[in-house]
Amino acid sequence: MALITYIAEDNDTILTNLIETLQEITEVRVMGSGATETEAERWLDLHDGSWHLAIVDLFLKKGTGLGVLTGCHKREPYQKVVLLTNYATPELRKRALLLGADAVFDKSNQLDELLAYCIKQTEEHKKFSVQEAERVAVAKSRPDQKEAGESLTMPTQ
């Protein structure tokens, strides 16, 4: 089972090389990419519960990866977002993690760690039960209906 992945990266050469490497070494399937914060947010929102991994560059053509992180704060537990940057300072790592990044990798010297992370996430994804995935998909397709067993309560005014 491949990880459905989105990449926000504004450098075409890096994007192409990253996609080739990820798809050759890991079970990642890149389904979309964009060069701006708005493109990334739009794709991730449009594909709401259907993606598993977002790899986000810090500096984009318009906006930043930190903005994308902020936009991803409401996501399913199986959906992971990682920041990939040339500026992985301790301060940036801390800020990214506070904004919801699951991991931060330095482009210049942590690509092996990124690949290992992707392999680990693929293994975790395989453990994720088909029933749970179906439950999430049904819940997202019918937001007005409660799951069986939940009590229906009227909102208070």
* Least confident stretch, 20-24, 131-135, 143-147, 148-152: 148-152
- Interacting residues of 86 by C-beta distance below 8 A, sequence separation 6+: 58, 106, 107, 108
Percentage above 70 pLDDT, the chain:
87
Q: What is the pTM of this model?
A: 0.81
State which H helix or E strand residue 14 sits in: helix 12-25
What is the rounded (10 degree) CA torsion for 26, 113, 41, 146? 70
Q: Per-residue confidence at 130, pLDDT binned at 50, 70, 90?
A: low
- DSSP codes joined into one string, 91-156: HHHHHHHHTT-SEEEETTT-HHHHHHHHHHHHHHHHHS-HHHHHHHHHHHH-TTSPPTTPPP-PPP
pLDDT recorded at residue 155: 42
Tokens 């990266």 belong to 9
pLDDT recorded at residue 151: 40
- DSSP codes joined into one string, 70-85: HHTSS--TT-EEEEEE
For residue 81, pLDDT beyond 50 = yes
pLDDT tens-digit profile of 3-32? 999 999 999 999 999 999 999 999 999 999
Tell me what the pLDDT averaged over the chain comes to. Answer: 88
pLDDT recorded at residue 144: 62
Q: How far apart are CA 141 and CA 47, in angstroms?
A: 12
Name the residue among 44, 40, 97 with its Cα closest to residue 64.
40
For residue 153, pLDDT beyond 50 = no
For residue 133, pLDDT beyond 70 = no
DSSP β-bridge partners for residue 101: none
* Domains of the chain, earliest start first: 3-141 (3.40.50.2300)
